[in-house]
Amino acid sequence: MDESQCGATICITNTVEGNYQRGHIMQKLKLWGFLFLISIILAGCSLGPVVISWQEKAITSQGAITATAAPTLATPTSLAPKPTPAASHSASPTPLPSRLSPEEARIITIYQRVSPAVVNVTSHIIQESFFFGPIPAEGSGSGFLFDNQGHIVTNNHVVANAQSVEVSFSNNIIEPAKVVGVDPESDLAVLKVEKIPPGVQPIPLGDSRHLLVGQTVLAIGNPFGRFGRTLTTGVISSLNRTIEVEGHRLRQAIQTDAAINRGNSGGPLLDSSGRLVGVDSAIFSPSGTSAGIGFAIPVQTVGRVVPKLIAQGYYPHPWFGAIGYDLTPSLAQTLHLPVDHGLLVAQLYHGSPADKAGLRGAQKEVIVGNHRLLIGGDVILAIDGQTIDSWTALEDYLELHKKPGDTITLTILRNGKKRTIKVSLEEKPRT
């Protein structure tokens, strides 16, 4: 997925997605140069000194939510900005001067302890060009050391479609990395390096279940793919957001005003004790840069998904296998149904758990207002005794509380009568 193709709401934040990629720019420059030369020849003009300038741009629509990966530009070396190298970090923290406030000392201590575990992730991609054939391109994001076996957690969109990946630790130590597992639905991926620099320790995991709005958080990452191990601070500005990001849904996302920019994708969000509470993944931004609204995948999701990615390369999501409409009071009244909430089942996937359990889909088609609806199917009123009023809530319940092989009990309305039906969940197809 490409950050430059953000929807009207949310964008991911890695550098591979959402910046101009080197190969794409080189292709455009060659084509522009060729067309420019032809125009000069045809016009019979003499050519004086020509100065071409350009600037890095983030292509997002107004109010776009954008992924936070950073771009790699084909900028001439003489014109490229000279980022300040990240400071070297040793295993022993630097003694702090007494003039610092307790809060400053705490943040600095956390940074010195945790930042060596934060890496810059560079992915190498081959793009096909109609005129020039295969063109190499690069993108970058962030990641962090997860365990002492060399596993590194990042976002799936940072390494999607990469032919090869490498990670850069502090002190300019670069190691090739192998992608061992990805899960596009949670936007998580796990890499593995064979060597961990001396003194670098994994980031301890915290608990995102008891976070509070207003709580201090720290983000460390590589904004724009150039400024390694940059620290920003802020607070949790909201919790339990459900964010739609280009084909996947971030569930129970942590919202923060800590500055998160392109290139921060996959970097850690820490609590005031330096423990991981989230993985930075997306921003809401009209311009493609930090607007004070960033989103992180909660650490509880990391703890649930990452071990599976390490063990088997993918995460087995539970599958129900039916689709339909959210039943609102007005729609229920229009359809003359004796309930005011629930899920109207329209269609079943052939051979799905819902199909095998005997759930019934639509029997006819009607037009309601400007919409064509499939009606006459079962209405799901509750799942495991809990009232349900949206398909999103059903999907979230299954994803967060169930696994393949579990059985759920549905309370349904069929032909005006309530009944229960049991459904044995299966593993969601990965195609």
pLDDT, tens digit (0-9, with 9 covering 90-100), for 166-189: 999 988 899 999 999 999 999 999
pLDDT at position 245 is 76
Please check the confidence at residue 90 and state whether its pLDDT lies above 80.
no
pLDDT class of 291 with cuts at 50, 70, 90: confident
Phi, psi for 128 (deg, rounded to 5): -90, 130
H or E element in which residue 331 lies: helix 329-334
User: 161-193 burial by CB neighbour count: b if 16+ within 10 A, else e?
Assistant: ebeebbbbbbeebebebebbbbbbbbbbbbbbb
Q: SS3 for 387?
A: strand
CA distances from 157 to 40, 78, 187, 278, 336 (A): 43, 31, 7, 16, 45
Percent of the chain with pLDDT over 90: 57
**What gap in Å lies between CA 27 and CA 32, rounded to an integer?**
9
For the domain bounded by 1-42+58-74+102-315, which CATH number is listed?
2.40.10.120
The pLDDT of 336-365, averaged and rounded, is: 94
**What gap in Å lies between CA 113 and CA 221, rounded to an integer?**
15
The DSSP output letter for 79 is T
Please check the confidence at residue 254 and state whether its pLDDT lies above 60.
yes
Type of residue at 362: A
Tokens read off for 410: 């549905």
What's the whole-model pTM score?
Answer: 0.76
pLDDT class of 61 with cuts at 50, 70, 90: very low
pLDDT at position 67 is 54
Give catalytic status of residue 89 as yes or no: no
H or E element in which residue 32 lies: helix 22-43
Type of residue at 308: K
**Active-site residue identified among 2, 183, 187, 280:** 187
Give catalytic status of residue 265 as yes or no: yes
Please check the confidence at residue 51 and state whether its pLDDT lies above 70.
no
Please check the confidence at residue 157 and state whether its pLDDT lies above 70.
yes
Please check the confidence at residue 30 and state whether its pLDDT lies above 80.
no
**Active-site residue identified among 89, 151, 157, 248:** 157
pLDDT at position 98 is 81
Tokens read off for 92: 């022993």
Tokens read off for 292: 């004070």
pLDDT at position 389 is 92
What is the per-residue pLDDT across 181-224, written as a single tens digit (0 to 9) for each? 999 999 999 999 999 999 999 999 999 999 999 999 999 999 88
**Active-site residue identified among 140, 265, 290, 352:** 265
Domain boundary assignment for the chain: 1-42+58-74+102-315, 318-427
pLDDT at position 14 is 56
What fold, for 318-427?
A: Pdz3 Domain (2.30.42)
